[in-house]
Amino acid sequence: MKSSELVEENKHATIRIQYCPACGWMLRASWMAQEILSTFTNELKSVTLEPAKDYPGLFQVWMEENLIWCRKKEQGFPQPKELKRRIRDLLCPEKDLGHSDRKH
């Protein structure tokens, strides 16, 4: 399947960022959403923020049923570079992430 066909197939994909509002992580969640949207403008349908009031300490990033990042499992928050790589690998593996793909 060509890259353009894969993008068309996944145009309905959504990213969902769940965060604990009591921990004050809304700004971090919105920053991650902004980073994702700026990189995958043409590949995604939406990025949503979901306050997880009943789950203290939760910070997870999902694409459909795929867990991309879990703060507890990963023992910390994602850097935008790593989060974008994981999303890219599922959504459109052929996409070049520019400087995020380059090793220093």
Say which CATH number the domain at 12 has: 3.40.30.10
The stretches of 1-54 forming alpha helices (DSSP H) are: 3-9, 26-39
* Distance, CA of 39 to CA of 63 (rounded, Å): 15
Q: Which domain holds residue 32?
A: 3-90
104 in a structural domain: no
State pTM to two decimals: 0.84
Strand partners, 47: 15
How many structural domains compose the chain? 1
99 in a structural domain: no
For the segment 23-66, what is each residue's pLDDT rounded down to a tens digit? Answer: 999 999 999 999 999 999 999 999 999 999 999 999 999 999 99
78 in a structural domain: yes
In 10 A of CB 45, how many CB atoms?
A: 11
